[in-house]
Structures are given as structure tokens and as C-alpha cells.
Chain A
């Protein structure tokens, strides 16, 4: 990752769009992790999700923040791969697990060992706009290997309207961001997934009347 390019891209493109075109209503910003290692677990509806979450950090803090993203999508050609790894600073992982490969989550382990803050979308894909899909259990496996790592649940609402999957036209909408209390590995994968789902549901219930 090139921190200079990333800062430049955020100051010239991302921050103005997020601040003026979109606009954020952040609830409990103080619950965001101030230092790593930590994992921000969020719902996923739009390409904007990771970018918006990154703008919640100062340029300095942001150097530690990396979205975990699908290698098959973000590394599909060399230009996108350059942009994703050098400017966005993603941690690419393989969604399709092959038997020959050792540990598909190795890059995540490495980043956490270096005190980084990861952004993870356990739904696995953006899915239908403004619809929360069932979480995949990879997150529980990560937490199990990193029992001392803070898990921060975040629910975002509005970005799936602004730029949903399959659309290239950005329409301005406010984005609500609800940040939940930090928790850690709970002892078992089942209880961890229950805890995560429960914390996320609390955040979902906070938003006013549903639309779409």
C-alpha cells in the first residue's frame, strides 16, 4: 500500500463525496477502535461501505485500516489489482477454498499480528440493496484464532440506496452509521455467531422505520 496515494485519493475524491454528496449520521463514534488489532464487522450493500468506514478514521489512523476483500473480484485485472492493493490497501482473500491451498485466512492472521484494524463484511457479498443477509462463519474462525482481538459491530444504512450493486450512478442519500459495543471471542463458534448476530440486530433495530 502507498500511504501517500491513499491519503491523496481520500482527500481529493472520497472525503468530499462522503461529506457533501452523502453526509453521515454517526452514532457513538467514540466506540471505534483507536488502535489495532481490531476487526470492524459491518453489513455490506455497496462499494461505498468500506470507503465510508475508512473516512471515520483520521488520515494517520487510516494507515492501519484495511478492508478485507475478495481476491476474485478486486484482483481480476492488473489495473484494479494495483488500485485495490496500492491505493485502497485491501487485504485480498480467496472466497473459493481450494484443497491445495494452506490457510486462506493467513493474510488476515498476518495483518492482525501487525496490530492492524481490519474491515470485514461477513455477508460475503453486497447482495440486495439494504438487505441484511446471513453472516458467513469465517469471522468466527478468525476470532477463535485471535481471542484478544476486539470485534466492533457496525451497521450502515443508506449506502445501498446511494450506490447499490450493479449501478454506476451515485444518488445522494444520507448514511446512518450505528456503532455497537466491542466484544471478543466467546468460547465457541456457535455462541460467537449468536453474539454477533444479536449485537448487529440491536443496531438494526435502532434505525427508524424501514424503507424500500
Chain B
């Protein structure tokens, strides 16, 4: 636990508290109106418990456990994606190579090799996948297939590995305008705080966009992709997320409130488009959920859809602002 700041521990406890309160509300609702069918809500709650307990547990264990946790999320996401896409029969073994990218990519994170972490999938896998596909000798729908596999790698592995990569950020005492004594010793990394900030705000943004859309939304923002999304929901969500970020950021992370506000805007907009791009993908493939892995939620990709955009955006924002953070 020594690797976490007090604020991070309080944030974890607050999340747990929120979960307990929500579970009590669901329980009371079920008791008050036993005639109403709330199976999905109850399932959703149960799944939340599993997600949050495993996530929190990984956090308490430390960096390696967090990396393994997200590597597993990447694996589940990729498996869902590859099970949905109309891949060619000849590509079976190509997909096996794509799976191998997961341990390798997370190894770069583990070993702190930033240069390799950032180019491995966009450069090396980008070439390896078509090269292996050429060996199958099937050129029919080649472009279609190579595009699909690469998009999957970028989304499920490259993007999501940025969440885990936040754990590598170290405080550089040479940065003088951030007098954060607790990070200056180098014992405590600012990574866990940034990670919780990203994941929690991305989730809050999903909720805020939904709530605003329900309360005062009329004009649809993307009627063909996601009929439930409205202009008011989008704007209200982004503003709410930005405000929350500027409040939570300076407390939980190394971010100054101005920068935290910027991070909130990025998460609000990025989360919106990340969510919609997975929705568009599901529409294209004719499915409602990416799988039924998480009862009450759908699939793993349904849960992390917004994060596929917010994670790399947030990571590079922080990395740019404080690029003399040791990586």
C-alpha cells in the first residue's frame, strides 16, 4: 500500500463506498417493488462488484498486477473483436500473431521502454500482420482483412495499454513549478492517481452524457449511429466532466487545476467518440453487444469503449505537459 498516496487510497475507498450505496439502493428498490423485473440491474451491479474488486485488488498489489489486469482486459477485448469480425478462414494463424502482440506490448510497458511501447504496434505489427497474411497466399479481400486486424490491434491493445503505461510515470524533481513533496522522493509514483483519474472520469463522463441526454435532450447528435445520444447530452457531459476533473485533478493527481480542466475536456470529447466508434462497429456487424461476458453490461469492449479513445489521448496530454516526467 506504500506505493499509493493517501488520496489514491481515499479515492479507492470512495469508489467502494459508492458501490455499496448503489447496491443498497438496488436492494431496497427490489424489496419495495418486487413485482418489477430488475434482473438486468441486479446483474449489472454484481458485475460492477467483480470489476471494481478485481481492479482495486490489482491496484493494491502494485504495478505488475495492474499491467497483468489490463493485459487480460486487452486479451478479452481482442477475443471479442476477433470473434465478431468477418475474418477470412485463411487468417486464422494471422490472428494468432495478433494475440502474441498483447504480452509483447505489455512487456514494453513493464520494462519502461517508452520508444518501443509507442512504435511496436503502429510500426512493427503494422508490417508483420500483412507480411504474415501474404504468406497465406490469399489476396481476395486482403485490404479488408489487414485493415480489420490492425484496427483491432490499435483499439484493444495499443490504446488500452496506455492505461497501464500511466503506472510508469515518475516524478521529476527538476520540475520546479509543481512543488509536490510527496512525489519528490521518487518513492511514490504519480501514476496510480492519474490512472484512477482517467478511468473514473471516463466512466463519469459516460454517466453524465447519459443523464444530460435523458433530462434535456431533444436534438439527436448522431441519429444513425446511436439514437440515444443528444446534443445536450454531449455538451452537458463534456462540461460536467471538465468541471469534475478540475476539482478532482489537483487533489488526486499531479495536474494543476487548469490542466485538469483541459484533461476533463479531452476525456469528455474523446469518450464520446470512443463510445460512438464502438457503437458504429456493432451496427456494422449487426450485433447489440460485443459479447455477453459481463452480465448486465454486455461485453468487455462495451465497457471499455470510451477508454479506447480517452486512454491514449489522456496519456499523451500528460506526457506532453510534463514531458520531463521520467518514464
Contacts and interface: CB of A to CB of B under 8 A. Distances in A.
A169 B91 CA distance: 13
B205 to A, nearest CB: 28
Interface residues of A, number: 16
Nearest to A174: B83
A167 interface: yes
Interface string B91-126: 011011001000000000000000000000000000
A64 B76 CA distance: 33
Nearest to A162: B92
A208 B99 contact: no
A172 interface: yes
Interface in A1-38: 23, 25
Given A172-B79, A173-B83, A164 B286 contact: no
B50 interface: no
A76 B89 CA distance: 30
A205 interface: no
Contacts of B83: 158, 161, 173-174
B207 interface: no
Interface string B66-93: 0000000001100110110111110011
A208 B87 contact: no
B197 to A, nearest CB: 30
Chain A CB within 10 A, most for which of B76, B83, B89, B285: B83
B95 A171 contact: yes
B86 A212 contact: yes
A164 B92 contact: yes
Contacts of A60: none
A167 B92 contact: yes
B82 A173 contact: yes
A110 interface: no
Given A211-B85, A211-B87, A172 B80 contact: no
A26 to B, nearest CB: 9
B54 interface: no
A209 interface: yes
**Majority secondary structure, B binding face:** helix
Interface in B17-58: none
A153 interface: no
B99 A212 contact: no
A129 B87 CA distance: 13
A63 to B, nearest CB: 29
Interface in A161-212: 161, 164, 167, 169, 171-174, 208-209, 211-212
A23 B99 contact: no
Contacts of B88: 212
B79 A209 contact: no
A169 B82 CA distance: 16
A164 B87 CA distance: 15
Contacts of A158: 83
Interface string B286-302: 11000111000000000
B254 to A, nearest CB: 36
Given A167-B92, A169-B93, A208-B287, A23 B87 contact: no
Contacts of A171: 92-93, 95-96, 99
A211 B287 CA distance: 13
B86 A209 contact: yes
Nearest to A209: B286
Contact of A211 (B80, B86, B95, B99): B86
Contacts of A167: 92
13 contacts: A25-B292, A161-B83, A164-B92, A167-B92, A171-B96, A172-B75, A172-B79, A173-B82, A208-B285, A208-B286, A208-B287, A211-B85, A212-B87
Given A161-B83, A211-B85, A211-B87, 16 more contacts: A23-B76, A23-B79, A25-B291, A25-B292, A158-B83, A161-B92, A167-B92, A171-B92, A171-B99, A172-B79, A173-B79, A173-B83, A174-B79, A174-B83, A208-B286, A212-B86
